[in-house]
């Protein structure tokens, strides 16, 4: 059986970015939520499962330090070749496993990654990593398939989310700032309902 890394590496090796079912040209849904946050050159942003997203290119404009994570070494290789910048640090790590080093970040951004974790153990490790990483006063932006969203993506089953479940798993140190339902229309003209939610760590 293929490992998770092999699964994702194969996808990134076989397809151009615009052929990926999650490819988005219009990043405004994410950027509008990030407008709630003062991001500057002294900020550190964690991009969970960034893949080859153009969001990374866009966030470079903030001058913030970017910790760019993915389970796929292939995706990180393609991204680092495209960007050629010292503003990014690449973290090849499976977010369903505990971090073996510690980071402190101002913003954690996840679009379409958390929903691939299925077991309670995987999901708990993900949220423990997040809670150990986001500073007090920092933010978390989660954008996942909503309760009415697709049940599968990239050949994998997904766990769909509501804002309530996100809040429950984050716990009472995190306060909801804003959440929106958003229907993403993918490159194959399929409608993919997402829930976008921005939380602030208050304690
Ligand atoms: C659907 S893609 C989304 C990519 C990117 N966030 C975007 O919006 O374009 C899912 C991404 O999550 C990565 N991924 C999947 N499982 C992961 C895990 N357990 N840890 C870290 N990254 C993971 C995949 O390699 C892939 O890049």
Mean pLDDT for all residues in the chain? 97
79: tokens are 């991204």
Q: How far is the CA of 114 from the centre of ligand 1 (A)?
A: 8
- Nearest Cα residue to atom 26 of ligand 1: 51
Q: What pLDDT shows up at residue 1?
A: 86
The CATH number of 4-8+27-109+119-201, from 3.20.20.210, 3.30.470.20, 3.30.300.30, 3.40.50.150, is 3.40.50.150
Report whether residue 70 contacts ligand 1, using a CB cutoff of 6 Å. yes
Report whether residue 113 contacts ligand 1, using a CB cutoff of 6 Å. yes
> Could you read off the pLDDT of 78-107 as tens digits, one per residue?
999 999 899 999 999 999 999 999 999 999
Q: pLDDT band for 111, please (50, 70, 90 cuts).
A: very high
Q: Summarize the confidence of residues 1-8 as an average pLDDT.
A: 95
Report whether residue 52 contacts ligand 1, using a CB cutoff of 6 Å. no
> Could you read off the pLDDT of 154-171 as tens digits, one per residue?
999 999 999 999 999 999
**Distance linking the first and last C-alpha atoms of the chain:** 43
- Nearest Cα residue to atom 3 of ligand 1: 112
- Is the predicted pLDDT of residue 191 greater than 90, yes or no? yes
Ligand 1: which atom is nearest the Cα of residue 24?
9
Interhelix angle 120-133/163-170, rounded to 10 degrees, is 70
DSSP string of the chain, one letter each residue:
---HHHHHHHHHHH--GGGSTT--S--HHHHHHHTTS---TT-EEEEET-TT-HHHHHHHTTT-EEEEEES-HHHHHHHHHHH--TTEEEEE--TTS--SS---EEEEEEESSGGG--SHHHHHHHHHHHHHHEEEEEEEEEEEEBTTS-SEETTEE---B-HHHHHHHH-TTEEEEEEEEEEEE-TTS-EEEEEEEEEEE--
Q: Summarize the confidence of residues 12-41 as an average pLDDT.
A: 97
Q: pLDDT band for 18, please (50, 70, 90 cuts).
A: very high
Q: Summarize the confidence of residues 190-203 as an average pLDDT.
A: 97
CA distance 177 to 200: 7
Q: Summarize the confidence of residues 108-115 as an average pLDDT.
A: 98
Q: Summarize the confidence of residues 22-33 as an average pLDDT.
A: 97
Report whether residue 96 contacts ligand 1, using a CB cutoff of 6 Å. yes
- Is the predicted pLDDT of residue 151 greater than 90, yes or no? yes
Report whether residue 94 contacts ligand 1, using a CB cutoff of 6 Å. yes
CA distance 76 to 68: 8
Residues facing 157 on adjacent strands? 152
Q: Summarize the confidence of residues 64-87 as an average pLDDT.
A: 97
């Amino acid at each position: 059986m293929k490992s998770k890394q092999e699964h994702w590496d194969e996808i990134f090796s076989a397809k151009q970015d615009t052929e990926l079912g999650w490819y988005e040209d219009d990043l405004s849904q994410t950027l509008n939520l990030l407008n709630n946050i003062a991001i500057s050159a002294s900020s550190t942003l964690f991009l969970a499962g960034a893949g080859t997203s153009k969001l990374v290119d866009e966030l470079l404009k903030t001058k913030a330090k970017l910790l760019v994570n993915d389970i796929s070494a292939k995706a990180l290789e393609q991204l680092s070749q495209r960007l050629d910048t010292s503003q990014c640090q690449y973290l090849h790590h499976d977010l369903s496993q505990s971090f073996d080093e510690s980071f402190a970040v101002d913003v954690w951004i996840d679009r379409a990654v958390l929903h691939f974790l299925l077991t309670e153990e995987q999901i708990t490790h993900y949220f423990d990593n997040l809670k150990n990483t986001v500073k007090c006063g920092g933010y978390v932006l989660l954008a996942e398939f909503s309760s009415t969203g697709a049940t599968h993506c990239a050949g994998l089953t997904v766990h769909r989310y509501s804002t309530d479940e996100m809040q429950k798993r984050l716990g009472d140190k995190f306060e909801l700032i804003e959440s929106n339902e958003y229907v993403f229309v993918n490159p194959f003209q399929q409608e993919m309902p997402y829930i976008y939610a921005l939380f602030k760590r208050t304690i």
